[in-house]
Structure 1
């Protein structure tokens, strides 16, 4: 069994942090050898992410659980992943997501007619309820009802409130929604969920080679706003995604997923990860989070020449391992 970071709240009760990884879907089944590196960094949670696909941001039909998808992107694959992780004592957040062709941003998804909006609502509800049933069947520990869908949420708020009610009829566990960093303050249904989910790609500084102090300073206004919202709504903040690319300017636009050729900067990624842990993990109003992202083939993921998000086989992996390591309980 893997144990996460245990803190004592002001009431004296222990609070386990969610020390998670975003476990990327693959073409194949997950084996014990794929889970062992997750255990090695002491992660106590993993996000499992089956996908639905859309042709473009203005076409409402959503295709999911298709035989044309990778194994890990389907219901069968997600179930196998969850069962293997649970077998190893790792808890799971099931987090179905949408991929739009050419990687277009899901937050801009908007329909052109009322009929298309209604078609999208029907299609999306089937997608989410399909995986809510899987979350209940597999006893997933958290279920995420959407990821970075700002325009959809803004234009159809009543749909989302109704969707959460319908999910709760199917799934009896904890619920969240993964709002983008610039979206979460405008998400109207946090009171219906258990966690305020934030994909934490906040801009922190514009330096090519940021220092820890610069990064720490950059966090302060964002941190203050999240603390205020958590206390106002009496819901903890959960970083449904967090992470940095191992490249120069990593704190400038942390959300960038382009294939730019910025110089590899392993120390910047490690420092940014350390500062995020230092700023948030000891806060009572903060639940924890999921590192973006973790590939099942650890031996060939990341590495010292890679400037992408994964911390695997980079100094940032050691930062995560140290933070996620269990605290030894002393006898009183």
Structure 2
């Protein structure tokens, strides 16, 4: 009887915590200058319970083997000291953090195409990248950060050098006791060779779901089905929860056609399309038991000065979608 009672409590705890522990996150953009607690209040107001903090390393081009990071020339929020203070401010407001150090290639070239032409350059890149990640792994351990993301959209690097990544994960585990993930692009997530070593299958979820100008929620939910089945197939094989390390849509016409597109065209603002797209994604995934939650792309520290109803970018700030997310995150 006692054993049955303990089992019942365990089942109840798992079910309840599964519902309560969804990651309702935002991707908190690094600030050029130091911030304070007032910059965190809008995150609390939107009912986010997690935030991704994203310090950056830089490479000059897709063939450059050296990662430049944690220098005085970088923005405050892109460095270790800025990341540390940002994490502290978020934690003080009850918001948990995924630390997500990222690489930026000059001129915005796609990180997935980083590839070296010689073994010597590969070794240099591996050593440099290890220094970058280990710096933030130690910071994550120091601050008891619950999740560390070890890379973002680096599929060529990952697929060409799998043994390096497996060893890197072991080195990270030697200094960091929290959960690990990796953020792979929507079209390459099934090809990462090390999901079994991590705690979450991380997906940057910019899947194409509609070719309509202002697609309905129903149309986009239908557009999700093929992709969702691919995610489920991998999840069943790996048996790890799926985390949308990034998700989001621009407030622009055809937002579901190429959701990854970040070109700086003006006009074509479509607030309804953004609302519908976010609603469809939430309705498709948030109630799935194997789905851990996700981090909305993206959230700026200077809330009152960004976004707005004439803005066609990703942020939901000062748009109808901000109230939508506030409601969805509260209802979870």
- Same structural fold, with TM-score higher than 0.5 when normalized by the shorter chain: yes
Aligned to 1:132: 137
Do structure 1's residue 74 and structure 2's residue 83 form an aligned pair? no
Query: Root-mean-square deviation (CA), in Å?
Result: 1.3
Indicate the SS of the match to 1:248: coil
Q: How far apart, in 2, do the equivalents of 1:293 and 1:287 lie?
A: 19
Aligned to 1:245: 250
Q: What TM-score, normalized to structure 2?
A: 0.94
Task: Extract unaligned runs of 5+ from structure 2.
Answer: 1-10
228-237 vs 113-122, which deviates more?
A: 228-237
Q: How far apart, in 1, do the equivalents of 2:193 and 2:16 lie?
A: 31
Aligned to 1:325: 330
Encode CA deviations 1:1-38: one digit per residue, 9 max, x unaligned.
Answer: xxxxxxx9896443110000000001122211110000
Q: 1:248–1:262: 8 Å Cα contact kept in structure 2?
A: no
Once the 2 structures are TM-superposed, how far is the Cα of residue 114 of structure 1 from its aligned partner? 0.8
Describe how 1:250-329 pairs up with structure 2 within 5 A.
250-325=255-330
Do structure 1's residue 34 and structure 2's residue 35 form an aligned pair? no
Change (3 A) 1:262 1:217: farther
Once the 2 structures are TM-superposed, how far is the Cα of residue 279 of structure 1 from its aligned partner? 0.4
Q: What TM-score, normalized to structure 1?
A: 0.94
Indicate the SS of the match to 2:199: coil
Once the 2 structures are TM-superposed, how far is the Cα of residue 187 of structure 1 from its aligned partner? 0.5
Q: How far apart, in 2, do the equivalents of 1:209 and 1:272 lie?
A: 9
Once the 2 structures are TM-superposed, how far is the Cα of residue 229 of structure 1 from its aligned partner? 1.4
Describe how 1:25-174 pairs up with structure 2 within 5 A.
25-174=30-179
Higher helix share: 2
Once the 2 structures are TM-superposed, how far is the Cα of residue 97 of structure 1 from its aligned partner? 0.2
Aligned to 2:4: none
Q: How far apart, in 2, do the equivalents of 1:299 and 1:100 lie?
A: 29
27-36 vs 239-248, which deviates more?
A: 27-36
Aligned to 2:7: none
Once the 2 structures are TM-superposed, how far is the Cα of residue 326 of structure 1 from its aligned partner? 5.3
Describe how 1:149-228 pairs up with structure 2 within 5 A.
149-228=154-233
Please identify runs of 4+ aligned residues in structure 1 that moved more than 4 A.
8-11
Once the 2 structures are TM-superposed, how far is the Cα of residue 150 of structure 1 from its aligned partner? 0.6
Among 11, 17, 21, the alignment partner of 1:14 is: 17
Q: How far apart, in 1, do the equivalents of 2:228 and 2:13 lie?
A: 20
Q: How far apart, in 2, do the equivalents of 1:12 and 1:197 lie?
A: 22
